Amino acid sequence: MTLMHGRRGLIVGVANARSLAFGIAKAARDEGARLAVTYQSERLALGVRALAAELQAELCLPLDVTQDAELRAVRQTLEQHWGAVDFVVHAVAHARKEELEGPFIQTSREGFHEALEVSAYSLVALAREFAPLLASGVSPSLLTLTYLGSGRAVPNYNVMGVAKAALEAAVRYLAMDLGPRGIRVNAVSAGAVKTLSAAGVRGLRSLLAFAPQVAPLGRNVDSEDVGRAALFLLSDLSRATTGQVLFVDAGFNIVGVPQAPQGVS
């Protein structure tokens, strides 16, 4: 019997084969989960449908998380198809490119609103819509993705750091709200990974080169690392864990002052 045998899960945010959402979906599928995936726009539809076929997903549905009607339509489709949902993965984040370069103080009102709505409020909207289906599921779990920039000032991460801070606060409040219904809510804070969304942050290449020099495990992480950690939070292995942020960054987050290279004192 595999870890996720027969569990029904919705993955929101698959963009391409390098995305963390795909890594999580693949890990869940390999452990026996039944999947539904969504695509954000028709521009991405063809690529996501191909990935859905690779994942043997039962459904591939359009979903713009800023549209309540589309959230409702996906929920109704899954209710008709499965009756209940055992896990939901929220892997959605967005900020305007111009907000991810230059000083944070120049963040526009419109850019701030857009980043917070897509990257943080969407988790609340998703939770509200799918809570009834999750409450009927087996060991139900809601999982999102965050980053170290939520609690530390990371160059060029800017408004996305503020959005991730709001997202992590939402995880705690949702865990409090949904706990009495048996639903766990957690987040994975992944280290820097070269994904489509991360590519919009200036200096990513430098960060990817720097992190292995500082992280205790001496390496970067990838979508497979994140997928395996997500399995813990999606499965019965974490049945008493909620409202938490699990770091998957080779230990990068624990380092205060980087050690000098060997031979240097």
| Catalytic positions | 147, 157
CB-count exposure of residue 253 (10 Å: 0-12, 13-18, 19+): middle
In angstroms, the CA 38 to CA 41 distance is: 9
Per-position DSSP letters for the chain, written without gaps between them: --TTTT-EEEEE---STTSHHHHHHHHHHHTT-EEEEEESSHHHHHHHHHHHHHTT-SEEEE--TT-HHHHHHHHHHHHHHTSS-SEEEE------GGGGSS-GGG--HHHHHHHHIIIIIHHHHHHHHHHHHHHTSSS-EEEEEE-GGGTS--TTTHHHHHHHHHHHHHHHHHHHHHGGGT-EEEEEEE-----TTGGGSTTHHHHHHHHHHHSTT-S---HHHHHHHHHHHHSGGGTT--S-EEEESTTGGG-SSPPPPTT--
For residue 10, is it left (φ>0), alpha (ψ between -120 and 50) or beta?
beta
CB distance 221 to 193 below 8 Å? yes
